[in-house]
Structure 1
Amino acid sequence: MNFKKIVTSLFFLLTVSSLDSLQAQQYQISLLTCDPGEQIYSSFGHSGIRVLDLDSGRDVVYNYGTFDFGAPNFVLKFAGGRLDYFLSVSTFDRFIAEYDYFNRSVREQVLNLNEQQKLDLILFLQTNYLPENRAYRYDFFFDNCATRVRDAISTVLGDQLVWDDAVREPVDKSFRELIDEMVYYMTWSDLGIDLALGSRLDRDATPLEEQFLPKYVEEAFARAEIQGDGPTRPLVEKSRVILDFEKPTGSFGAVNPYWIFWVVAIVFTGITFLGFKKKKLFVGFDVAFFGILGIIGVVMSALWIGSEIPSTKYNWNILWAFPGHLVLAIVLLKKTIKPWVLKYLLFALIMADAAVVFWILGWQSFHPSLMPLLLVLILRTNYLYYNLGKFKRVV
């Protein structure tokens, strides 16, 4: 009798275990990596998690990169670091159709998870998708669509996930250099990013920190291993290309800051030479120049003080684009010049020189196109300082 009970119990346990195994094996879980698009918000690529039910055919993609363009005060919230992204779920076909429409390549890495790990990851994603959990405070460098995907896998696997960074190419890159890789040919966007973000971007990113960019998540997954639940195995079981489009040839475009700022420098050099010959100050150009720099300085100061984005702090672009330049532009239009204006011009000259020093010493890397503007700033502050009281002002 006892023997029959033992056999029956073993048969029941084996049956339950077999059903659990079958349930887990019906899932295939993959990392999807999408190439960059032509818009600034899509220029860094994208990551998603695909969950395919091999039994029912249900095929969905979990997407942590969803945001609402129509949200109230969208621009202010984004600039202030107060914009929430959220996890969304779409069908695989719909997800791929969007990237097919925009001619963006998509690659898939099927993950080599065991049965329990698959179930744990699905439960993790389903829990994240609950209405009270799906929104999160977006941080471009440390909490975005790519890092959320990586962290989901890391949370489920724990210490069993080993990033094999020893085989990675030993190339140290700063956060700014990593961004430049993606937006180098989007010159105005690249300039805007460099103006908005400060010196914290100029430290080298660790291999884990590089994974704020989807292409580095893809590379890290290809190197990673799973250990401790049996024989060591690669995290990625197999890879395939879903959509393959030829990458567009990069170009700066006809209108870019590199040549435009050099034209500005040549114009101001000519105005300075002509003014010196005729003993005149063509301050109308200075009003426009310092006014624009002052407005840029006001925006950078607002980001430094009011934004919750850590990367906007300690932005030494403010040495040359100082908010006080806006006051100088207004004062230059007045008939009478106060004595403090000369002191301010000397202060502005010293600050511009300091910006060059900061750049040379590597304390902050400025956008390369800014060099002619810095030369103009040094030239005009020096020229106005010595001649403001002597030469005739012409607006």
Structure 2
Amino acid sequence: MLNKISFMRSFLKKFLLIYPFIYPFIFAANAQNYQISLLTCDPGDELYSAFGHSAIRVLDMESNQDIVFNYGTFDFNTPFFYVKFTQRTLDYMLSVSTYERFLYEYNYFQRNVREQILDLNPEQSKQLVQFLQVNYQPSNRFYRYDFFYDNCATRIRDAFEEVLGKQLDWNEKTEPEKKTFRNLIDEYVYPLPWADFGIDLALGAVIDVDAKEREKQFLPDYMEEAFARAMIVGDGPTRPLVKSSHVVLQFDERDFKMGLFNPYFTWWFLAILVMVLTYMGHKKKKLFKGFDILFFTVLGMLGILIVLLWFFTFHSQTKYNWNILWAFPGHLALAFGLWRGSLKPWLKKYLLFALILANLCLVFWVFGVQSFHPSIVPLLLVVILRTNFLYYNWEKLQEGKRINV
């Protein structure tokens, strides 16, 4: 993984050094005959590439200049890169490269690439290239990235809609398959179980609504399907937008096997361990509060992260995140109180409050308020079990007798 990230950084550094010089070279040509294609790239092995990629290929049929316009470029060397990425204040940009250089990266990572050659007339092709030229101007090439609504795929869709206007008919399905935004994400992150868990932990109830056909196009594969269905109308006989399709790069499909270290196994192992620990504590009159201090500290820290994503970032998708019901920031106060041993009366009330929150999370799940990651079930069981156990053994905590820390 580190080798892949190093490669990407090296690749981008070299690319960012050369692409200003590509610009005048490309646009110096005054060609009239272009072949326009949509390139769709399969998902990669890392989270940043897990959803695939889209780009526009422009082939000048007269000079054989072969250029790819890519709306999915960002600079790893941006100051406070990860902070800006988390806050959604990181700008992406339209970049250009040669077709050969574009394919080099996908060949290196062994990711399939497909091409759809579009049936645009010369005037439409020329207008699209002019649109991309204007977009590539230094004052226009940067944009504020939004994973669902403004990314490498949706920018391409918007470009074609701007150029073709009413001549572009998406020919949407009459009875599309209903999928929520979360369902769509899950289709791609299942090979990355911890990333899947993290995404479900970070994103709120706002993504548990059905996505319209147009909204599904934030994913390159769905954009590819949309282009395959689309028609050009009002320009002579109605014709498909896509004239022909073919595979550019194809590699053997890799089998996905989930390793033992995954959220499901890890959290169920933890839950079983806690059940045994609690049973032993009940039999031997011990509370094992050291575990509770650690456990509720971790949950409290997760709760702070949820609050930060909810209230202190520009991500609309992290709002109304009811994971906060089980990973609540106040759990830090509970952990601190248990650690200090100064057991105030409010701590007992807080145990009851935490128990109610955990049960409320289950209610929200059952009634479809938010879809949670399935692996949190054992975590909820641990919260419910330990808050119950501590609540009903409060007197022992106060006495401080036979407590194993």
TM class by shorter-chain length? over 0.9
Distance in 2 (alpha carbons) for counterparts of 1:269 and 1:41:
37
Distance in 1 (alpha carbons) for counterparts of 2:260 and 2:127:
52
- Tell me which residue corresponds to 2:325: 319
- CA-atom RMSD in angstroms: 1.2
Listed as ranges, the matches of 1:88-99 within 5 Å are: 88-99=95-106
Distance in 2 (alpha carbons) for counterparts of 1:220 and 1:353:
42
CA apart distance, 1:34: 0.2
Distance in 2 (alpha carbons) for counterparts of 1:361 and 1:247:
38
- Tell me which residue corresponds to 2:404: 394
CA apart distance, 1:185: 1.9
Q: Helix, strand or coil for the counterpart of 2:317?
A: helix
- Tell me which residue corresponds to 2:274: 268
- 355, 365, 385: which one pairs with 1:359? 365
**Cα pair 2:55 2:152 within 8 Å, conserved:** yes
- Tell me which residue corresponds to 2:60: 53
Which portions of structure 1, spanning 4 or more consecutive aligned residues, are displaced by more than 3 angstroms? none
- Which sections of structure 2, spanning at least 5 residues, go unmatched? 1-29
**Cα pair 1:37 1:102 within 8 Å, conserved:** yes
Distance in 2 (alpha carbons) for counterparts of 1:166 and 1:331:
57
CA apart distance, 1:23: 5.0
Distance in 1 (alpha carbons) for counterparts of 2:140 and 2:117:
26
- Which sections of structure 1, spanning at least 5 residues, go unmatched? 1-21
Distance in 2 (alpha carbons) for counterparts of 1:87 and 1:336:
58
- Tell me which residue corresponds to 2:164: 157
* 2:257 pairs with 1:251: yes
- Tell me which residue corresponds to 1:6: none
Distance in 1 (alpha carbons) for counterparts of 2:126 and 2:112:
29
- 345, 348, 370: which one pairs with 2:351? 345
* 2:222 pairs with 1:216: yes
Q: Helix, strand or coil for the counterpart of 1:173?
A: coil
**Cα pair 2:31 2:60 within 8 Å, conserved:** no
Distance in 2 (alpha carbons) for counterparts of 1:142 and 1:82:
15
**Cα pair 1:281 1:388 within 8 Å, conserved:** no
Deviations 1:240-274 (A, max 9, x none): 11001122112222311110100100111011111
Output the TM-score relative to the length of structure 2.
0.90
**Cα pair 1:32 1:106 within 8 Å, conserved:** yes
Distance in 2 (alpha carbons) for counterparts of 1:28 and 1:353:
59
Distance in 1 (alpha carbons) for counterparts of 2:361 and 2:253:
37
- Tell me which residue corresponds to 1:42: 49
Distance in 2 (alpha carbons) for counterparts of 1:125 and 1:335:
65
* 2:188 pairs with 1:182: yes
Q: Which range moves more in the overlay, 223-232 or 158-167?
A: 158-167
**Cα pair 2:178 2:210 within 8 Å, conserved:** yes
Q: Helix, strand or coil for the counterpart of 1:32?
A: strand
**Cα pair 2:115 2:245 within 8 Å, conserved:** yes
Distance in 2 (alpha carbons) for counterparts of 1:268 and 1:23:
70
Distance in 1 (alpha carbons) for counterparts of 2:183 and 2:260:
24
Distance in 2 (alpha carbons) for counterparts of 1:85 and 1:326:
37
* Amino acid paired to 1:394: N
Q: Helix, strand or coil for the counterpart of 1:365?
A: coil
**Cα pair 1:110 1:238 within 8 Å, conserved:** yes
Deviations 1:114-162 (A, max 9, x none): 1111111000000000000000000000000011111111111111111
Distance in 2 (alpha carbons) for counterparts of 1:198 and 1:251:
28
Output the TM-score relative to the length of structure 1.
0.92
**Cα pair 1:293 1:322 within 8 Å, conserved:** yes
Listed as ranges, the matches of 1:124-143 within 5 Å are: 124-143=131-150
- Tell me which residue corresponds to 1:381: 387
* 2:75 pairs with 1:65: no
* 2:242 pairs with 1:232: no
Deviations 1:206-251 (A, max 9, x none): 0000000000000000000010111100010111110011221122
Q: Helix, strand or coil for the counterpart of 1:394?
A: coil
Identity of aligned residues (%): 59
- Name the count of aligned residue pairs: 372
* Amino acid paired to 1:62: F
Deviations 1:285-306 (A, max 9, x none): 0011101100000001001010
Distance in 1 (alpha carbons) for counterparts of 2:231 and 2:103:
28
